[in-house]
Amino acid sequence: MTPRTSPLVAIFNSRDEVIEAIRSALENDGFETVTARLAEIQNGTLDLVAFIKVHDPDVIVYDLPRPYENHWNFLRLMKETTSLKDRLWILTTTDKEALEAAVGASDVVEIIVGQPYGADDVVEAVHAALGSLAPE
């Protein structure tokens, strides 16, 4: 495997157009990306733990759609595995208040919200998570 020259970001979302917008924005900013649909993870056709082990992303951008409690519980269980425990996570959602009402406070790096949130918001959050926020 060729060594990476820039940080790798894994993008997990349920909508192809959102995955593509975030992927494009991150790659335009110099990041490498890998992507997967949430349905593939949740129905078992993609093993998230194996995917993370193979790709070893520096940051994980993970969307939490409704029903929040179900998706949060799934994510919480996944985050308990050794390969996911110490990762940098950025969660995206369209309704932070409803998410927090369903699951309480979170220990993730950041939750990006909005209807819709922009791909540039994700790029900025990735920079912040990596401790190298790009200059304005």
Q: Please state the domain count of the chain.
A: 1
Which residue, among 71, 67, 125, has the nearest Cα to 98 in the 3D structure? 67
First to last CA, the chain: 34
Per-residue confidence (pLDDT) for residue 68, from 0 to 100: 78
Establish if 1 belongs to a structural domain.
no
Establish if 136 belongs to a structural domain.
no
More confident residue, 11 or 135: 11
Which residue, among 94, 88, 95, 92, has the nearest Cα to 112 in the 3D structure? 92
More confident residue, 85 or 109: 85
Q: Is the pLDDT of residue 1 over 90?
A: no
More confident residue, 100 or 115: 100
Per-residue confidence (pLDDT) for residue 45, from 0 to 100: 95
Establish if 3 belongs to a structural domain.
no
Establish if 62 belongs to a structural domain.
yes
Alpha carbons 51 and 41: distance in angstroms, whole number: 10
User: Please, how many CA atoms are within 13 Å of residue 99, restricted to the half-sphere of its CB?
Assistant: 19
Print the domain residue range for 48.
8-129
The answer to whether the peptide bond before residue 67 is cis (omega within 30 degrees of 0) is yes
More confident residue, 7 or 67: 7
* Percent share of the chain, pLDDT over 90: 38
Establish if 26 belongs to a structural domain.
yes
Establish if 104 belongs to a structural domain.
yes
Establish if 14 belongs to a structural domain.
yes
Of 66-70, 94-98, 104-108, least confident by mean pLDDT is 104-108
Region 7-35: mean pLDDT is 95
More confident residue, 112 or 30: 30
Check if the beta carbon of residue 57 is closer than 8 Å to that of residue 87: yes
Which residue, among 60, 117, 115, 111, has the nearest Cα to 83 in the 3D structure? 60
CATH code: domain of residue 75: 3.40.50.2300
Check if the beta carbon of residue 29 is closer than 8 Å to that of residue 22: no
Establish if 98 belongs to a structural domain.
yes
- Token readout for 94 is 């369209």
* Percent share of the chain, pLDDT over 70: 83
pLDDT averaged over every residue in the chain: 83
